[in-house]
Amino acid sequence: MTSPKAVLIGPPGSGKSTVGRAVAERLGVGFRDTDADVEAVAGKAVSDIFVDDGEERFRELEATAVRDALAEHDGVVSLGGGAVLDPATRELLIGHFIVYLQVGLSDAVKRVGLGSARPLLVLNPRSRLKQLMEERRPVYESLASLTVATDDRDPAEIADEIVKGLPS
Ligand SMILES: Nc1ncnc2c1ncn2[C@@H]1O[C@H](COP(=O)(O)OP(=O)(O)O)[C@@H](O)[C@H]1O
Ligand SMILES: O=C(O)C1=C[C@@H](OP(=O)(O)O)[C@@H](O)[C@H](O)C1
Ligand SMILES: [Mg+2]
């Protein structure tokens, strides 16, 4: 049975997509990002799915993308920040090696910027991000096999720490 070497979770701007790719490179394995998988299935960007079809439809596509990635992929998988809100997804994550990337509000705000690529943060990004981070922190903490701080650290250093922390 295939199983990912690591599954990255954490809020938007914690670096899941960037660091996940770097971890996969270090391990010489493939990388999957469930947002990219959703975009491939829908044939459009996450932000367009939110606008055209609504968040609920995005969450359905996301739950399926996560389920498929966990079942099929034996490299590194990065989830979207909100994927863990789905109870069925949380259930499927049990038993996997889950890496929680921690980030403080000010680094997260700097990293996500003011662009519209993250539709949940289009209106008032700083306060929305603060709210999301506070609501979700207990969920991320409850799932984590390994927690890695990312503030004031570059992706290479974070990826090295994750590789060192993987089970042998
Ligand atoms: N540790 C880091 N330090 C500085 N910038 C980072 C770091 N990790 C990611 N970034 C940058 O922050 C932005 C968001 O990163 P991304 O990997 O998309 O985060 P996530 O997938 O968790 O939302 C990208 O522009 C990325 O280059
Ligand atoms: O936190 C969220 O609910 C979301 C995070 C995004 O992914 P990143 O965490 O990779 O930015 C993306 O899945 C979508 O915009 C919703
Ligand atoms: Mg991402």
Q: 119: pLDDT confidence band, cut at 50, 70 and 90?
A: confident
What length does the chain have? 168
- Check residues 81 and 121 and name the one with the higher pLDDT: 81
Residue 131 in any domain: the answer is yes
What's the pLDDT at 160? 98
* ipTM exceeds 0.95, yes or no: yes
- Is 10 annotated in some ligand binding site? no
What Rg, from alpha-carbon coordinates, does the chain have?
15
**Phi and psi (nearest 5°) for 118?**
-110, 95
Total domains in the chain come to: 1
pLDDT tens, residue by residue, 63-117: 999 999 999 999 999 999 999 999 999 999 999 999 999 999 999 999 987 566 7
Ligand number, closest to the Cα atom of 15: 1
Q: Is 17 in the pocket of ligand 2 (CB under 6 A)?
A: yes
Q: 120: pLDDT confidence band, cut at 50, 70 and 90?
A: confident
Q: Is 15 in the pocket of ligand 1 (CB under 6 A)?
A: yes
Residue 86 in any domain: the answer is yes
What's the pLDDT at 73? 97
Q: 168: pLDDT confidence band, cut at 50, 70 and 90?
A: confident
Average pLDDT, the chain: 95
Distance 156 CA to ligand 3 centre (A): 16
Distance 129 CA to ligand 1 centre (A): 14
CA distance 29 to 11: 24
Residue 1 in any domain: the answer is no
Distance 168 CA to ligand 1 centre (A): 27
pLDDT tens, residue by residue, 131-166: 999 999 999 999 999 999 999 999 999 999 999 999
CATH number of the domain that residue 10 is part of: 3.40.50.300
Query: Which of the listed residues 111, 128, 154, 158 should we mutate to test ligand 1's pocket, taking the one with most ligand atoms within 8 A of CB?
Result: 111
Residue 168 in any domain: the answer is no
Angle between helices 46-53 and 55-72 (to 10 degrees): 140
Residue 92 in any domain: the answer is yes
CA distance 154 to 74: 25
Listed in sequence order, the DSSP H helices in the chain are: 16-27, 34-42, 46-53, 55-72, 87-93, 105-112, 125-143, 155-165
Residue 149 in any domain: the answer is yes
Distance 33 CA to ligand 3 centre (A): 7
What's the pLDDT at 116? 62
- For residue 19, the enclosing domain spans 6-162
Ligand number, closest to the Cα atom of 46: 2
**3-class SS of residue 98:** strand
CA distance 158 to 139: 21
